[in-house]
Amino acid sequence: MTADPSSGKESLTHRLRRLARSSELGVVLFAAVVGVLAGLVVVAMNGTMQAMHVLIFGIGAHEHLSVASGLIPALVLGAPALGGLVFGLISALLRKRGFGQPIDPIEANALHGGQMSLKDSVIVAAQTIGSSGVGASVGLEAGYTQAASGIASRLGQAFHLRRADLRLMVGCGAGAAIGAAFNAPLMGAFYGFELILGTYAIPAFVPMMTASFTATLTRQTLLPNLAPPLPALGAPQMSDLPAILLLGILCALVGIVIMRGVTLVETGFRRSALPAALRPMVGGLIVGALALWNPAVFSAGHGAVYLYIGADSTLTFLLMLLGAKVIASAVSLGSGFRGGLFFASVLMGVLAGRAYAAGLELVLPNMVVSHSLYALIGMSALAVAVVGGPMTMTLLALEMTGDLTLTLAVLAAAAAASLITRRLFGFSFTTWRFHLRGETIRGAHDIGWMRELTVATMMRREVPQVADASTLEQARRAYPPGSTSYLVATDSEGYYAGMVLPATLYAAEADEPAGDAKAPATVHALLRHVGDTLRPGMTIREALATFSRCEADALAVTMPDRTIVGILSEAHAVKRYSDEMGRRLSELTGERID
């Protein structure tokens, strides 16, 4: 049904679209809908994965695979391998049908103004469920955020949301999904801020919190949280601060090793003669072999997180299990399974924290207040090193424990881990993967507009031209004083020859001696920037850098064969850049510009 101009009535769709575009209340309501849908996504994906674990491994309906006992060894070894074979064959079929590298929420917000493909997002979510369902050591967070953000983006595009609002909805979808997954709405909201939006924008606060809380409420209503209670954690003292900071630093180093390890394994598989379709089978076989020793390496390790926060274990065992989980995760992702490192890094952090506490107790027996305390701090610090988002993980600790004193200790370790990772490595796991693909983004900050603002979109196509063989007198007659600010010279074949400052035509006239009988000089003698041009596909940043390097006020825009297609002045480029920067600032301050 469309609007009827004669009756003055608008269709419901048009009214809703106008509300979402023109009202902050409309954006908040939109975010609430996104939150509910994100909660449903989490419930559906969790239920599907658990059903696969029950069907394949024969565990109880409410039992976690990572802490299951009495598993049949043949299933432990064979299920991930056979599941990997099926996964690899299906993935190969998808590649043949054109399914390539999907756009994830961070990339969408950084480069594409929040635009994502719903079809690709559903495929990624299904692949993630399949990977974790057969036991691969990956987390579901990639599927949660991809599916929820994809739905949010598709709805936003249907309602023609502004670029800033569409990016916000993508952040709301991802943050809400994480909040629902961890039953931690504050943590989910800050995940959206830190990792998906890349900034704590004031106008985004209410929509983001609304989405995260509605998603968590939806999940709690349909799938109540059954996490076991945490053991007594003890209260950290100021005297514990050096040890806590050292743990943060060590977690950063472990995180860097993990990220490098995934890349090395992936490179090894790629350089091998093994077909891509068979690599997940080999990866699954290795994971299954490790799981024969301890099932904690399976899947994301939700159950193992709570088990090892409180379980008493030896230093040797903890280090071995940490190594096994790192290997399992690296092999799973490197062999081609789909998933994330976020949830897996949480378990690795717990193991690293407990191992650190056990080692510290050997050196300083009376210093360790609680091994569980260091497990929780290690959980947050290692996740920060791998994923980023120090406030995200600090708030997770707060919502898990409700202990503000402990939260301050977690914040100190998370800050140390974040600082060391940025200084020594410079990337989170996601941005590191972008770097390996040749992208230069370091986060979800909106730099896509810089790529969209190209020389082709800014240049003038009407170019004042003069042949370089023309005499000065001919050029003066064609372009009287004040007729143009810049002039492009062409060679005998009509290609770019250089730039000419119109003022130099008349400066040359003043220098000519009266009654000079010599042949008149040509424009060729006045050429500048002979080898300096812009290309239509250059971004605004590249264009401004070229202007600065050439010290030019204007440059011709040419094709590779030096065909002239336009001209751009530095003043116009700077103005366009300034206007766009003003728009981005207005998004941060809450000023709405149509």
- Top mean pLDDT of 276-290, 450-464, 475-489 is at 276-290
CA-to-CA dists, residue 212 to 206, 378, 457, angstroms: 10, 25, 38
The pLDDT score that the predictor gives to residue 492 is 86
Residue 253 pLDDT grade (very low, low, confident, very high; cuts 50, 70, 90): very high
Residue type, 174: A
Cβ atoms of 45 and 129 closer than 8 Å: yes
Helix, strand, or coil (residue 471): strand
Question: What number is the average pLDDT over the span 455-474?
Answer: 88
Burial of 273 (0-12, 13-18, 19+ CB in 10 A): exposed
Assigned architecture for domain 450-584: Roll (3.10)
Q: Are 353 and 374 in contact (CB under 8 A)?
A: yes
The first and second tokens of residue 299, run together, are 């899947």
Count of CB atoms situated within 10 Å of the CB of 366: 6
Tens digit of pLDDT for each residue in 70-97? Answer: 899 999 999 999 999 999 999 999 988 8
Q: Do domains 12-222 and 238-446 have the same CATH topology?
A: yes
Residue 501 has pLDDT above 90, yes or no: no
Give the CA angle between residues 298, 140, 329 to the nearest 5°.
40
pLDDT digits (tens, 9 = 90+) for 272-310: 889 999 999 999 999 999 999 999 999 988 889 989 998
Domains of the chain, by residue range, sit at 12-222, 238-446, 450-584
Q: pLDDT by residue (tens digit) across 507-562?
A: 755 555 544 545 458 888 888 898 889 999 888 888 888 988 888 888 999 999 99
For the record, the structure tokens of 398 come out as 């707060």
Element (H, E) at 558: strand 554-558
Could you give the CA distance from residue 345 to residue 385 in angstroms, rounded to a whole number? Answer: 9
CA 141/CA 388 separation, integer angstroms: 14
CB half-sphere exposure, 2, CA atoms < 13 A: 2
Helix (H) or strand (E) holding 467: strand 465-467
Q: What is the CATH superfamily name and number for domain 238-446?
A: Clc chloride channel (1.10.3080.10)
Q: What distance lies between CA 88 and its chain's CA centroid?
A: 25
Each residue's pLDDT tens digit, 7-43? 445 566 676 667 666 677 888 999 999 999 999 999 9
For residue 389, give the nearest of 380, 377, 400 by alpha carbon.
380
Do 348 and 381 contact (CB within 8 A), yes or no?
no
CA of residue 369 relative to chain centroid, distance: 38
**SS3 for 254?**
helix
Residues 6+ apart with CB under 8 A from 174: 105, 144, 145, 148, 149, 191, 192, 195, 196
| Rounded average pLDDT over 448-470 | 84
Mean pLDDT, residues 337-341 taken together = 90
In percent, the amount of the chain with pLDDT more than 70 equals 89
Q: How many CA atoms lie within 13 A of 446 on its CB side?
A: 27
Pairwise CA distance, residues 104 & 102, whole Å = 6
8 A C-beta contact, residue 410 and residue 397: yes
Give the neighbor-by-neighbor strand order of the sheet with 465-467: 465-467, 487-490, 496-500
Spatial contact of 380 and 413, defined as CB atoms under 8 Å apart: yes
DSSP, residue by residue, 330-361 = HHHHHHT---BSHHHHHHHHHHHHHHHHHHHH
Burial class (CB in 10 A: 0-12, 13-18, 19+), 548: exposed
- The mean pLDDT of 434-453, rounded to a whole number, is 66
Query: How far is 419 from 384, CA to CA, in rounded Å?
Result: 10
Quote the mean pLDDT of the chain: 86
The 3-state secondary structure of 290-336 reads HHHHCHHHCCCCHHHHHHHHHCCCCHHHHHHHHHHHHHHHHHHHHHC
List of long-range contacts for 484-490, beta carbons under 8 Å, 24+ apart: 485/553, 485/554, 485/569, 486/553, 486/554, 486/567, 486/569, 488/463, 488/464, 488/556, 488/564, 488/567, 489/465, 489/523, 489/524, 489/527, 490/465, 490/466, 490/564
Count of CB atoms within 10 A of residue 237's CB? 10
Cβ atoms of 435 and 266 within 8 Å: the answer is: no
Q: What does the pLDDT read at residue 411?
A: 93
* Cβ atoms of residues 176 and 211 within 8 Å: yes
Q: For residues 570 and 557, what is the distance between their CA atoms, to the nearest angstrom? A: 12
Q: Provide the residue type at 54 as one letter.
A: V
Average pLDDT of the residues in 170-179: 95
Q: Distance (Å, rounded) from C-alpha 240 to C-alpha 266?
A: 39
* Per-residue confidence band for 438, with pLDDT thresholds at 50, 70 and 90: low
pLDDT tens readout for residues 563-593: 999 999 888 888 888 887 777 666 655 555 5
Instruction: Say yes or no: domain 12-222 is CATH 1.10.150.240.
Output: no
